[in-house]
Amino acid sequence: MRLPKTATEEEVLHSITEVNENSSVHGLIVQLPLDSIHKINTEKVTNAVAPEKDVDGLTSINAGRLSRGDLGDCFIPCTPNGCMDAKRFLQTHQPGKWSISYTKLNLQMPVPSDIVISRSCVPKPIDRMAREVGLLSDEVELYGKTKAKVQLSIIKRLKSQPDGKYVVVTGITPTPLGEGKSTTTIGLVQALGAHMKLNVFACVRQPSQGPTFGIKGGAAGGGYSQVIPMEEFNLHLTGDIHAITAANNLVAAAIDARMFHEATQSDKALYNRLVPLSAGQRKFSPIQINRLKKLGIDKTDPSALTEDEITRFARLDIDPSSVTWQRVLDTNDRFLRRITIGQAPTEKGYTREAQFDITVASEIMAVLALTSSLEDMRERLAKMVVATSRGGQPITTEDLGVSGALTVLMRDAIKPNLMQTLEGTPVFVHAGPFANIAHGNSSILADKIALKLVGPEGFVVTEAGFGADIGMEKFFNIKCRYSGLRPHVVVLVATVRALKMHGGGPTVTAGMPLPKEYVEELCISSFPSCRADTEAELDLVCRMAKAAGAFDAVRCSHWAEGGAGAVNLGLAVQRACEAPSDFQFLYDLDIPIADKIRIIAQKIYGADDIELLPEAKHKVELYTKQGFGHLPICMAKTHLSLSHEADKKGVPSGFVLPIRDIRASVGAGFLFPLVGTMPTIPGLPTRPCFYDIDLDPETEQVNGLF
Amino acid sequence: MRLPKTATEEEVLHSITEVNENSSVHGLIVQLPLDSIHKINTEKVTNAVAPEKDVDGLTSINAGRLSRGDLGDCFIPCTPNGCMDAKRFLQTHQPGKWSISYTKLNLQMPVPSDIVISRSCVPKPIDRMAREVGLLSDEVELYGKTKAKVQLSIIKRLKSQPDGKYVVVTGITPTPLGEGKSTTTIGLVQALGAHMKLNVFACVRQPSQGPTFGIKGGAAGGGYSQVIPMEEFNLHLTGDIHAITAANNLVAAAIDARMFHEATQSDKALYNRLVPLSAGQRKFSPIQINRLKKLGIDKTDPSALTEDEITRFARLDIDPSSVTWQRVLDTNDRFLRRITIGQAPTEKGYTREAQFDITVASEIMAVLALTSSLEDMRERLAKMVVATSRGGQPITTEDLGVSGALTVLMRDAIKPNLMQTLEGTPVFVHAGPFANIAHGNSSILADKIALKLVGPEGFVVTEAGFGADIGMEKFFNIKCRYSGLRPHVVVLVATVRALKMHGGGPTVTAGMPLPKEYVEELCISSFPSCRADTEAELDLVCRMAKAAGAFDAVRCSHWAEGGAGAVNLGLAVQRACEAPSDFQFLYDLDIPIADKIRIIAQKIYGADDIELLPEAKHKVELYTKQGFGHLPICMAKTHLSLSHEADKKGVPSGFVLPIRDIRASVGAGFLFPLVGTMPTIPGLPTRPCFYDIDLDPETEQVNGLF
């Protein structure tokens, strides 16, 4: 559609006719070079434009200067959002290398605090970033100036576009402080994008807001490798986690209300209320029809049900002791770890013990991360099992009638969130399932959309939560299994700090001052990306890594230097992508549950065997009987050791992994064996981070978040 | 800045020079009429534009057709967001009547369901709506295509602009179904705007999401008087209520965690943790300095405190039985009405009874509604009293160290949300405090911004929750007191249905089929806005209203006809605005607490007297002693009767109003006497609305919400 400067009047007119027939073009600016003004009849050109082409856009036929030379020489179609979208329009019709502007870093030494660096970079308007990576304006929903949601329809539009290279970043067994996976992920994309000029997307998890005000503070990478603006990244974002809180707690309220109403009403009264007479008619809602089908009742007329069918339909008969669905909050509220609910007189004595988890531990978060479409999410949200009936049947959210409402509450959350790095490369922030009792990886949808947008020559760098034994194993065997995607390269981040601790150094505790053995090694070193610890230490690590079979081992300094400090890593990743790979799942889904757990324990953790405790044995039987035996396994194990004991550092051996219990996330699609007790809602220390956090009412700047 | 078609080259060049000096203009399009092309040297004009004027905008000097004639004849400055903003730019520099496009209704008879009507209207892109009402693009943060947040800086920019007319809509004592205040509010602005072509804003409350999935379903007005899109209005909106949930529960977690840490640590250990050694230094955070000041300790060096001062600083010594701060969720979860928390072994037996309220009952929601600036919100959030110390001192969020974090969590929520009516007039949706235990009115900030935007000839129609005895009384004596604004007109909505019930008809219960006496009167009739019940009934109502002293009484049919059906009401409102008024507060703030309560009970409710029960008497003493006696009163009373007994209809007399207890919302700025027991979190019925709610994965349409 781009016309040469020498285009004749006829050529211009022909192109306009083409545009007239393109319904996605709402308006255009025909920009004729000044020197063409006497060769081309402007009025004729003007009149060639179909009258409907300016309904909401801005149609203009001009001769003169159009300052942004890159807008094209001759004419630019406009969409309803204005003519700046024109540039974007041209790009999407020229798949290939992005025309993207990078943000130049002004590196300081010593490296300032994260917040000082974050504030020193002005983010590009996010609508511009969206256009630069080839998004159509209809596919983008702005949330302020620095965040946007992108629509899933992109996958369909770019269906025929081959995927880019898929790179996953993981780490060695960490210290409790984390060892820079996020920082390396961001540093690497800054290198591949701003320095190597390749199309590249980072896909990262949304952080939980609870810990931000507790011990952890904000995080979005660190140093000169960050997602900006940090405040937006750490607070609310576009409300996805809040939507999960709302959806999760609607299920919880529905469970207890249903048990209460069933306990206090006859079958007939229940049925009459569930299928009420309205305007002289009784009708099942579609969700109720689904339940009837599940029960094998092939009727749609409410008056046709037999008494037995009425009872089966109306009474879920939930065993209160079997409820596995917990309430959630995105707050570090330790006093909600175990509570008794239903103590008001209105609940007539139907009290029970319950608990709150942190929102990111909700199965709905795991569903969000593993779903592949709106329809698939609707299905997953419907088959989540919340309890067992007294007769041993799994009770789902669909049985409760709440599945549609959950989908409605999650309809915006399913769209990935677009942000950017310090150097102006694009980032998707989407989903952040708890890495303990869920799989700890960002969303499949963000990865899939990014792989389409970067195109076959581009790269998508996604991060797997926790260490390789947890995050990477689950990335391979759960996320890749559901997505159908296969990684081209794994980047394993190591730090001298973590290597030291696992080699026998003193214990590191989050929120406590670092023992001096570590303070002296301030920087992070990564492997194959290694960063400035002592020279000798780093050389040794790199040498040993390569000797152990790593494709390459590279020192990095992206924390101090941004993308420039990770160019060697970028080059190594690029080379590794070309190398052949033979990706295989660790286990087949069809083998027995216990065997799957054993394979993970032996091959990944180095255990001699597993031991199923009585409750776990019972669950193996129950889930096999209920038809959930084919699901992949998501181990709920400490990330601080390869074994089940957090203080066993290095590579422990000669241990038997005890499986205390097994739970099912049927909607998300995995079973999670509990190895020991997992804390599912953190607490606040005596002096939480919030003591330092404040807003300057003049500048509206957030202070103390980092 | 608009140049006539006949402008000479010199005039054009002069105007460009002016624009060059305006730093808020980032680019421009000079659009020369085709016939001027030979009179004006385009290149000269082009060169006159300062080179920095196209940094992010789109500078272009053209001769030719610019299809949107209303964009101006000669040139349009551009801002970084593209040249469509140009139109808006011109408008803001031409204060006065808006150039706004209305949406034409296609009225159907019989009136279709709310959702069918809502879907039949395509909302204008919200950025266009923003421009139409004179907002600068820097003042608008888009949230998708149909919602936007607007910045508070508008108030400062338009400081010298006189306010518009201020109209409040309230109702008679309602039935439990509500009687159409929102519908009348929307119908009235549609009439004033789309039909009478006046600048007009509606300011309404954000609905609580909990009841949307319970009994109530969605609501955004009704019939042909609605805010659109309904789904966006009813679900999440821009996350303000979610932000309140997060902020409220951070306070709750901080209270219990603090009591726990104080109970398990010595004064010295507490102090060492609260003011830790970090990089060899101990430092108070600014929030801790505030606490020191409150305690009268004028020191900033942590090592300078005496042992007694350390104890006073570090130990809040909260009396667990005095905690008035509750956790909240925006979910109808009846089983959280009374709970026992802290039962996990990690909390070492420090259990206590607590409760959850619905989020809109949080004091933070009341703060949001009553605040006048970011700085004021910071102050209000800091002085919220959450408990009393064992020594009788009020304990605030500032004492807990959490006030700054609350402000940070609420920094986006403070910005009003822009949406639109079915007929394309602007609406602010902002704040929705519980009308039982809070004041039930939308935000002061939305009203203030709207009053500036409509200008002196325009109208702002705001809604006061519940009936006149609750919503309007609180609007006058709390909201107007804090805002300094004075209403020009009160529109009192009456329905024949409510008048009948208060005249002795059968009881109406939300969620139950309507007794047939009411079903036959489907439409709502309002007073002074009255709508189609039987002719005779409506005539009678209007006649009696005028006889009773109403300025006017008008029948309305906006539910069935949109704005066209409320033009008579609009004319009456316009006339009433011209009439003199003598607004006076009902009581002085300086009189004793009990006297203020008595005045409301006698003058508004018609009570003979009040009776303070023992707990209320105790609180009168406590709050007077603590210095909160000067606050206005926010009665927590049933809205279903003028008295304290919901079943006393009509105008009851000869009763004494019992005051069971009094609570304080010190941050929001009122005391709330409890008349009877107020439910603070609703429950789910046997068949909640969610049974009908679902998402069509193909069209992404929400079904069953209404």
**Secondary structure (3-state) at A229:** coil
Q: What are B381-395's pLDDT values in tens digits?
A: 999 999 999 999 999
Mean pLDDT of chain B: 85
Q: Does the structure show a pLDDT above 70 at A454? A: yes
Chain-chain contact of B34 with A54 (C-beta, under 8 angstroms) = no
Q: Which of A116-125, A544-553, B567-576 has the lowest mean pLDDT?
A: A544-553
Stretch B443-449: mean pLDDT:
98
Active site annotation includes B466: yes
Q: How confident is the model at residue A69 (pLDDT cuts 50, 70, 90)?
A: very low
- Name the residue facing A334 among B64, B250, B346 (closest C-beta): B346
Q: Give tens-digit pLDDT for A240-268.
A: 999 999 999 999 999 999 999 999 999 99
Beta pairing partners, A615: none
ipTM above 0.95, yes or no: no
- Catalytic annotation present for B205: yes
Contact criterion met (CB < 8 Å) for A143 and B145: no
Any catalytic annotation for residue B183? yes
Cα A41-A72-A192 angle, rounded to 5 deg: 175
Residue A67: list chain B partners with CB under 8 A: 27, 54, 58-60
pLDDT at A615: 95
Residue B529 has pLDDT above 60, yes or no: no
- In-domain check, residue A30: yes
**Residue A276 with chain B: CB contacts under 8 Å:** 513, 687
Per-residue pLDDT for A528 more than 60? no
Residues B234, B121 within the same domain: yes
CATH number for the domain harbouring residue A456: 3.40.50.300
- The answer on B234 and B145 residing in a single domain is yes
Mean pLDDT within B411-430:
98
The reply to whether B325 belongs to the active site is: no
Q: In terms of DSSP H, where are the helices of B107-170?
A: 114-120, 126-132, 153-157
What pLDDT, on the 0 to 100 scale, is given for residue A39? Answer: 66
B361 pLDDT higher than 90: yes
Share of chain B above pLDDT 70, in %: 82
- Give the confidence band of B512 by pLDDT, cuts at 50, 70, 90: very low
Looking only at the bridges linking them, the beta strands covering B459-467 and B489-493 are unpaired
**Is A571 among the domain residues?**
yes
Q: Do B54 and A67 touch (CB under 8 A)?
A: yes
Instruction: Write out chain B residues lying below 8 Å of A217, CB-based.
Output: none
Q: Tell me, what's the pLDDT at A457?
A: 94
Number of domains, chain B: 4
| A42/B27 touch (CB, cutoff 8 Å), yes or no | no
CA–CA dist A686, B109 (Å, integer): 65
Q: Grade residue A517 by pLDDT with cuts at 50, 70 and 90.
A: very low
> Residue B468: its pLDDT value, please?
84
Q: How is chain A split among helix, strand and coil, in percent rounded to 5?
A: 40, 15, 45
Helix axes B240-264, A240-264, angle to 10 degrees: 80
Q: Are residues B135 and B184 in the same domain?
A: yes
Nearest Cα residue to A28 out of A104, A90, A70: A90
Residue B670's DSSP bridge partners are B665
Helix (H), strand (E) at residue A615: helix A614-626
pLDDT confidence of residue B527 = 32
Query: Identity (one letter) of the amino acid at A347?
Result: E
Residues B214, B261: one domain? no
Listed residues B356, B380, B409: the one ending a domain: B409
Whether B682 has a pLDDT exceeding 60, the answer reads yes
Identify the band that residue B43 occupies on the pLDDT scale cut at 50, 70 and 90. Answer: low
* Residue-level pLDDT at B53: 53
Name the pLDDT band for A566 (thresholds 50, 70, 90).
very high
Any idea what the CATH number is for the domain that residue A638 is in? 3.10.410.10
A181 has catalytic annotation: yes
Is position B698 within any domain?
no
Q: Quickly state the pLDDT bin for B526 (edges 50, 70, 90).
A: very low
Q: Is residue B313 part of a domain?
A: yes
Q: Is the pLDDT at A643 greater than 70, yes or no? A: yes
Answer with the residue of higher pLDDT: B684 or A31: B684
Of B243, B374, B691, the CB nearest to A401: B691
A528: preceding bond cis by omega (within 30 degrees): yes
Of A131, A147, A165, A205, which is the active-site residue? A205
- For residues B423 and B557, membership in a common domain is answered with yes
Same structural domain, B273 and B355: yes
What is the residue-averaged pLDDT of chain A? Answer: 85
Distance CA A66, CA A700 (A): 36
Looking at residue B38, its pLDDT comes to 56
Mean pLDDT of B291-314: 96
Q: Which of B358, B163, B124 is nearest to B249 (CA)?
A: B358
Sheet holding A352-354, edge to edge: A352-354, A339-341, B339-341, B352-354
Cβ atoms within 10 Å of B568's Cβ, excluding its own = 17
Of residues B172 and A469, more confidence is placed in A469
- Last residue within a domain, chosen from A380, A409, A438: A409
Which whole number is the average pLDDT over A417-425? 98
In tens, the pLDDT along A172-226 reads: 766 655 558 899 999 999 999 999 999 999 999 999 999 888 876 667 889 999 9
pLDDT at B25 over 70: no
Q: What is the pLDDT of residue A58?
A: 43
Choosing from B53, B88, B216, B479, the catalytic residue is: B216
Residue B181 annotated as catalytic? yes
Residues B566 and B618 in one domain: no
**pLDDT at residue B483, as a whole number:** 97
| Cα–Cα distance measured from residue B463 to residue B46, given in angstroms and rounded to the nearest whole number | 51
Domain presence at residue A273: yes
pLDDT band at A642 (very low <50, low <70, confident <90, very high): confident
A599, pLDDT greater than 50: yes
User: Do B154 and B453 form a contact (C-beta atoms < 8 A)?
Assistant: yes
Whether A165 is catalytic is no
Q: Does the annotation mark B216 as catalytic? A: yes
Residue A486 has pLDDT above 70, yes or no: yes
Q: What percent of chain B has pLDDT over 90?
A: 63
The reply to whether A346 and A374 lie within a common domain is: yes
Q: Report strand pairing: B609-612 vs B656-659.
A: parallel
Among residues A578, A601, A626, which one ends one of the domains?
A578
Mean pLDDT of A618-636: 96
Residues B423 and B546 in one domain: yes
Please check the confidence at residue A151 and state whether its pLDDT lies above 90.
yes
Among A34-38, A459-463, A654-658, B690-694, which is the least confidently predicted range? A34-38
A253/B334 Cβ within 8 A = yes
Q: Are strands A140-143 and B394-396 parallel, antiparallel or unpaired?
A: unpaired
Residue A699 lies in a domain: no
Q: What is the C-alpha separation between B185 and B491, in angstroms, rounded?
A: 9
List Cα–Cα distances, B635 to A142, B490, B660, in angstroms.
41, 21, 11
Is A319 within a domain?
Answer: yes
A378 contact residues in B (CB cutoff 8 A): 695, 697
Same domain flag for A446 and A542: yes
Asked if B695 and A404 come within 8 Å (Cβ–Cβ), the reply is: yes
Q: Which one-letter amino acid corresponds to residue B92?
A: T
Give which of B16, B36, B65 to mutate to test A binding, by max A Cβ within 10 Å.
B65
Going by pLDDT thresholds of 50, 70 and 90, the confidence category of residue B119 is confident
The better pLDDT of the pair A75, B437 is held by B437
Pick A498 or B447 by higher pLDDT. B447
Please judge whether B335 and A62 are an interchain contact, meaning their C-beta atoms are less than 8 angstroms apart: no
Catalytic one of B466, B628, B672, B706 = B466
Size of interface A-B (CB pairs under 8 A): 376
Domain identity same for A209 and A229: yes
Q: What is the domain range of residue A345? A: 241-409
Are B60 and A67 spatial neighbours (Cβ–Cβ below 8 Å)?
yes
pLDDT, position A86: 44
**B-chain residue closest to A139, CA distance:** B144
Of residues A531 and B5, the one with the higher pLDDT is: B5
By Cβ distance, the residue of A80, A347, A691 closest to B334 is A347
A254/A398 same-domain check: yes
Query: Is a pLDDT exceeding 60 seen at residue B79?
Result: no
On whether residue A704 sits in a domain, the answer given is: no
Contacting residues of A for B332, CB less than 8 Å apart? 253
Distance from CA of A243 to the nearest CA of B (A): 7
Residue B407 and residue B429: Cα distance in Å, rounded?
20
The answer on pLDDT for B102 being more than 50 is yes
Report the C-alpha gap between B212 and B205 in whole angstroms: 14
Which residue among A125, A274, A353 places its CB closest to the CB of B686? Answer: A274
- Could you check whether the bond before residue B110 is cis, i.e. omega within 30 degrees of 0? yes
Query: For residue range B322-347, what is the model confidence (pLDDT) as tens digits?
Result: 999 999 999 999 999 999 999 999 99
Tokens 């034994």 appear where?
A: A469
State both tokens at A217: 């503070």
